[in-house]
Chain A
Amino acid sequence: MFAAASVLAAEENNPLVPHTYELVVGIFSFLVVVLVVGKILTPRIQKTLEERTDAIEGGLKRAEQVQEEARQTLEQYKAQQKDAQLEAAKLRKKAEEQGAAIIAEMREQAQAEARRIVEAAKAQIEADRQQALQSLRAEIGAMSVELAGRVVGESLEDTARQSRVVDRFLEELEERARTQEQITS
């Protein structure tokens, strides 16, 4: 290339023939640029771009982490809420059961009380009856003795008289019973 060009160089300033001093200046210029732009500055911007990539990736990762955390917390809260609801339902059920049990117990108690009262009343009545029966028995004996005495004392003249005595006695008896009843009631 240069051999062919040097033949043409006989003419002045062939544009294809480089000037020596321009070659030197070209090398110098290129070296300066490579040194400053290539050696010093390019590594800086490469480092910055790398750091930026890291920062962006790190940021994304952090955001993902935070999101994950938030999701977990939400799930936790949901689980807790569910637990609480279950707990509340359980308590309610328990309370209902307890309430029912209490009502049943009360009812039983009331029934027992009622039975007791009824039995007591019955026993009282029985006792009263026994007492009445006893006193009646004693009275009937006495009255029978009295009646028999009267019957004998009247010297039994006629049947009409006899029947009158008996009727009177019975009336008296009834009277007495009535008055006794009035007293006891």
Chain B
Amino acid sequence: MSALTVLASGGDQFEAPGVELFDYPPLFSGGPAWLTKPVFFAVFGALVTCAIAWSAFAKPKLVPRGMQNIGEMGYVFVRDQIGRPFLGKDTEQWMPVLLSLFLLIWVWNIFAVIPIIQFPIASHIAFPAVLAVAVYFLKVYLGIKHQGPAKYFTNLIPKGLPKPIYVLLVPIEYLSTFVLAPFTHAVRLFANMFAGHIILAFFSLVGFWFLFEKPTAAGFGVGIIGVIMTCVMTAFEMFIQFLQAFLFTMLAAMYIQSGLHAEDH
């Protein structure tokens, strides 16, 4: 779809898609400005996540059937691969947050390769930012609650180092924990989805342009390569989508753990 808008505006020259891929007008003319495709599918993704989880976990049986099997695979994966390595015996208590994050992000990411939708929700920074900020507040809240308002901030600093080191260490430590950590948490997911979307759009546009829009003998090979690369990159993107959902949730677990217990320096 976005490729078509680019083509419509473009002339005879091939133009690689850029940032404009991510600009959307209102869904229908005359509609409210905020009701765009990303907004619509963000909510849709949340509902899909709920629907999938509902079909799997609404009436769980001791002997699982159908969707419950798949849902349990997801649950056990999040519990064993994300929760337990960081949270240990606290895992069960935090599974609601971790499972919600993982499923929502994954569904949002998968939208990048679903026909018609073809848009990774997290490529708009607002969505990963909301999630990262939520985890950030949770982390600080848990730190103050479990370690004490003063102790939480002193626990972050390693003890027993030569005094001059602290001049450097304290600002760096605070900067990394309270500014860079949430920022990179959000941006890592955003940037991956953003770049992935551009890559897919680029290769599919190459294929479309050289095989259909302006087919030439010289361009034929390029078009074929574009199509092949689109397929290859789609597969790769599906892997990245999963990986980023996993990573985001894993970092969330790590941050929650850092709030619950002081690190051993």
Interface residues, chain A, with chain B CB atoms under 8 Å away:
1, 13, 15-19, 21-23, 25-30, 32-34, 36-39, 41-49, 51-52, 55
Whether B130 is near chain A, meaning CB under 8 Å from some CB there, is: yes
In whole angstroms, how far apart are the Cα atoms of A44 and B38 in the complex? Answer: 31
In whole angstroms, how far apart are the Cα atoms of A52 and B130 in the complex? Answer: 36
Specify which of B49, B59, B99, B126 is in contact with A23 (CB 8 Å cutoff): B126
9 contacts between A and B (CB under 8 A): A15-B22, A19-B126, A22-B42, A30-B104, A33-B103, A38-B99, A42-B95, A42-B96, A46-B92
Specify which of B19, B56, B131 is in contact with A30 (CB 8 Å cutoff): B131
Q: Which residues of A sit under 8 angstroms from B131, Cβ to Cβ?
A: 26, 30
Q: Is the CB of A26 within 8 A of B96?
A: no
Q: Which residues of A sit under 8 angstroms from B34, Cβ to Cβ?
A: 19, 21-22, 25
Q: Is the CB of B96 within 8 A of A21?
A: no
Q: Is the CB of A25 within 8 A of B96?
A: no
Q: Is the CB of A37 within 8 A of B194?
A: no
Whether B46 is near chain A, meaning CB under 8 Å from some CB there, is: yes
Q: Is the CB of B129 within 8 A of A26?
A: yes
Specify which of A13, A26, A44, A48 is in contact with B62 (CB 8 Å cutoff): A48
Q: Which residues of A sit under 8 angstroms from B71, Cβ to Cβ?
A: 45
Residue ID in chain B nearest A11 by CB atoms:
B19
Q: Which residues of B sit under 8 angstroms from A15, Cβ to Cβ?
A: 19, 22, 123-125, 194
Closest CB-CB distance, A56 to chain B, in whole Å? 9
Q: Which residues of A sit under 8 angstroms from B33, Cβ to Cβ?
A: 21
Whether B220 is near chain A, meaning CB under 8 Å from some CB there, is: no
Q: Which residues of A sit under 8 angstroms from B56, Cβ to Cβ?
A: 41, 45
Q: Which residues of B sit under 8 angstroms from A41, Cβ to Cβ?
A: 53-54, 56-58
Q: Is the CB of B58 within 8 A of A44?
A: yes
Closest CB-CB distance, B91 to chain A, in whole Å? 10
Closest CB-CB distance, A44 to chain B, in whole Å? 5
**B53-88 interface code vs A (CB 8 A; 1 in, 0 out):** 110111111100000000110010000000000000
Closest CB-CB distance, B42 to chain A, in whole Å? 5
Q: Is the CB of A49 within 8 A of B96?
A: no
Known contacts A1-B183, A15-B125, A48-B62; is-contact A42 B46 (Cβ 8 Å): no
Known contacts A22-B124, A48-B61; is-contact A27 B130 (Cβ 8 Å): yes
Q: Is the CB of A49 within 8 A of B72?
A: yes
Q: Which residues of B sit under 8 angstroms from A32, Cβ to Cβ?
A: 46-47, 50
Interface centre among B59, B95, B127 (most CB of A within 10 A): B127
Q: Is the CB of B62 within 8 A of A55?
A: yes
Specify which of B38, B96, B97 is in contact with A22 (CB 8 Å cutoff): B38
Q: Which residues of B sit under 8 angstroms from A17, Cβ to Cβ?
A: 125
Q: Which residues of B sit under 8 angstroms from A18, Cβ to Cβ?
A: 124-126, 129
Known contacts A38-B97, A46-B95, A52-B62; is-contact A29 B46 (Cβ 8 Å): yes
Known contacts A1-B179, A44-B60; is-contact A37 B49 (Cβ 8 Å): yes
Q: Is the CB of B42 within 8 A of A25?
A: yes
**B94-114 interface code vs A (CB 8 A; 1 in, 0 out):** 011101100110000000000
Residue ID in chain B nearest A19 by CB atoms:
B126
Q: Which residues of B sit under 8 angstroms from A13, Cβ to Cβ?
A: 19-20, 22-23
Residue ID in chain B nearest A56 by CB atoms:
B62
In whole angstroms, how far apart are the Cα atoms of A23 and B92 in the complex? Answer: 29
